Amino acid sequence: MDRTPSRPPVDPGATLVLEQVVSPVFGASCWIVGLRAGGPCVVVDPGARVSERVRDVVSRHGWEPVAVLATHGHLDHVADAAGLSAYYGVPVRLHADDAYRLDDPFGTIDRPGASGTLVAALAAAGLDPADYRAPHDVRTFGTSRSGTSRTGATRPGTAHRGAWRDEPLDLDLDLGLDLDPGFTAADRTGPRALAVRAVHAPGHTQGSTLYLLDDVDASRVGGARVGGARVDVALTGDVLFAGTIGRTDLPGGDPALMQRTLRDVLGHGGTPGAEIDGARAVLPGHGPTSTLAHERRTNPYLR
């Protein structure tokens, strides 16, 4: 494509700016991370009724969204994904193993026949299945362990459970969001503009994913006690919270896989030298922020 840059190239060392919009439904946190000065951004976990505030944040910074990311496919994290994806003309990206949930988030969140359900809680919060729209542009990453497409009828936790359990946990990929959409490849001035790393962390759901971003403005990470002006962050969805972890009793949840994730991905049990740095701020899908080192010291599920 032959296009002329309309503004100076992004400084590859620029600090990322983080914004949080909390959904009124289940208090789910939507995180928007972008470069200063009109650069690219990603919108992570747009839950219910956050769209208007997300658009305000994006326009205030002059950002250009390049993707809507989901840490997993539960409705309280993706209810507004379709609308924002369509509004900005960008894909929704999530791990292949949770993609099926986007087709029917109400039908995939509760155990069959369960009483006192999350669907009932969502209905009480005013979310009606009739109002839900699945995103048109969904691009998965990772390998679907069940081998089904997102329109497949697989209900993980049942027949296909063994198929995905056997996969290694060390999925770790660059999502390729490192190009400012306003520039051609030749305009790149460094190794990254907005690099997002996805780390598969199953247990809460099959496709639960941590998103790692580096060099975030440390004043934006809430109550997490971090040193320095910049901090690396992990958006942990419903895998790791401050002081606790996500539930594993919902369909697609798996206590044993969660244990492996906590030990090998978030703890000290993974590949020597490749563990996630404890100084990284933990920005969960619900509740206060923390740091991984603090959680390793104090979180009873991670010690």
For Zn ion, the closer of residues 97 and 238 by Cβ is 238
For Zn ion, the closer CB: 180 or 238? 238
Beta carbon nearer to Zn ion, 101 or 294: 101
Q: Which is nearer to Zn ion, 33 or 70 (CB)?
A: 70
Least distance from Zn ion to the Cβ atom of residue 56, Å: 26
Q: Is 74 in the site for Zn ion (CB under 5 A)?
A: yes
Query: Distance between CA 233 and CA 211 in Å, rounded?
Result: 8
Answer positive or negative: Cα dihedral of 56, 60, 64, 66.
negative
- Find the shortest distance in angstroms from Cβ 78 to Zn ion: 10
| String of contacts with Zn ion for each residue 13-32, x by CB under 5 A | --------------------
Q: Which residues contact 96 (CB under 8 A, 6 or more apart)?
A: 140, 141, 142, 143, 144, 150, 207
Residue 81: CB partners within 8 Å, gap ≥ 6? 46, 68, 70, 92, 102, 135
Q: Strand 92-95 vs strand 64-69: parallel, antiparallel, or unpaired?
A: parallel
Closest CB to Zn ion among residues 238, 295: 238
Would you call 280 exposed, middle or buried from its count of C-beta atoms within 10 A (0-12, 13-18, 19+)?
buried
Q: Which range, of 46-54, 67-75, 138-146, 223-231, touches Zn ion by CB under 5 A? A: 67-75
Closest distance of CB 247 from Zn ion, Å: 8
Which of positions 217-276 make contact with Zn ion (CB under 5 A)?
A: 238
Binding interface with Zn ion (CB under 5 A): 74, 238
